[in-house]
Amino acid sequence: MVRRIEHIAIAVKDAEASARLFETLFGVSRGQMETLPDERVKVAFFELGGSRLELVEGIGADNPMGKFIQKRGEGLHHICLEVEDLPETLRLLHAAGFPLIDSVPKPGSRGTKVAFLHPRGCNGVLIELVEQPSRA
Amino acid sequence: MVRRIEHIAIAVKDAEASARLFETLFGVSRGQMETLPDERVKVAFFELGGSRLELVEGIGADNPMGKFIQKRGEGLHHICLEVEDLPETLRLLHAAGFPLIDSVPKPGSRGTKVAFLHPRGCNGVLIELVEQPSRA
């Protein structure tokens, strides 16, 4: 079961410039900018109530974020939903016929587990699912 | 100042069919389906933590949601952010150079006031701002 919208991600050409723009728009300071070489992205994020908004810039040649922008322009890229038990959620969604990009969870940032669902099963929306690390 | 992500809206061809799909995906029942003739949309929404996810189907000939889908396909359409003082926020954003679709607030559902910012000022993202009715 989905608990909440963990974040919304926006594909941008220049995360630094966009972070300044959204700081003005939101009246809120961004968090620390992060570069994730494995995922070939640079990310700026904002805490907004119980959710986050992420600005994502692709880095390096032929990165997926750059290809997205080339095709569709800058804009909304994906949403991330928090679930309680990610392996069980993936099993249920697969059984219900949802096409999965990741059929098993992969490690996300800060000890999380994440997996993406294919947008063709979700009305064109790219959906990431995240399970927070257990506090036990 | 932005308080939280109030909702995310997804443009869909058939709100009823999509609501069934997302009920399975979320493991959560939708709220009441609403038809808003003035805005020419039919809407299904889901409560997810402190935010909502809305499925929006256009109704009638040449409706804006149908045109969006024709051009870009089904998918993420806009995000709505809650602000404290909408007229003052619009004044500040206009002064900062943000292009506004609505320069003055218009009535939204349930006594709210809403206004849209133009996506060309927001990295391609269509942003709705909402002010909740005062409880005084």
Chain A partners within 8 Å of B73 (Cβ): 124
Is the separation of the CB atoms in B25 and A98 below 8 Å? yes
* pLDDT, mean over chain B: 94
- B/e letters for B102-133, b = 16+ CB within 10 Å, e = fewer, are beebeebeeebbbbebebebbbbbbbbbbbbe
pLDDT value at residue B135: 66
Asked if B49 lies within 8 A of A50 by C-beta distance, the reply is yes
pLDDT of residue B110: 83
pTM summary value: 0.95
Collapsed DSSP state (helix, strand, coil) of residue A105? coil
C-alpha B80/C-alpha B50 separation (Å) is 13
With bands split at pLDDT 50, 70 and 90, how would you rate the model's confidence at A135? low
Residue B5's CB is within 10 A of a number of other CB atoms, namely 24
Instruction: For residue A71, give the 3-state DSSP assignment.
Output: helix
Tell me which chain B residue has its CA closest to the CA of residue A100: B25
The pLDDT mean for chain A works out to: 94
| pLDDT at residue A16, as a whole number | 96
Q: Does A111 touch chain B (CB under 8 A)?
A: no
Q: Hey, what are B43's tokens?
A: 């809407």
Q: Is A95 on the interface with B (CB under 8 A)?
A: no
ipTM for the predicted complex comes to 0.94
Residue type present at position B128: E
CATH number of B2-131: 3.10.180.10
The proportion of chain B whose per-residue pLDDT surpasses 90, expressed as a percent, equals 88
Q: What are phi and psi of B121, to 5 degrees?
A: -95, -5
Which pLDDT score is estimated for A21? 97
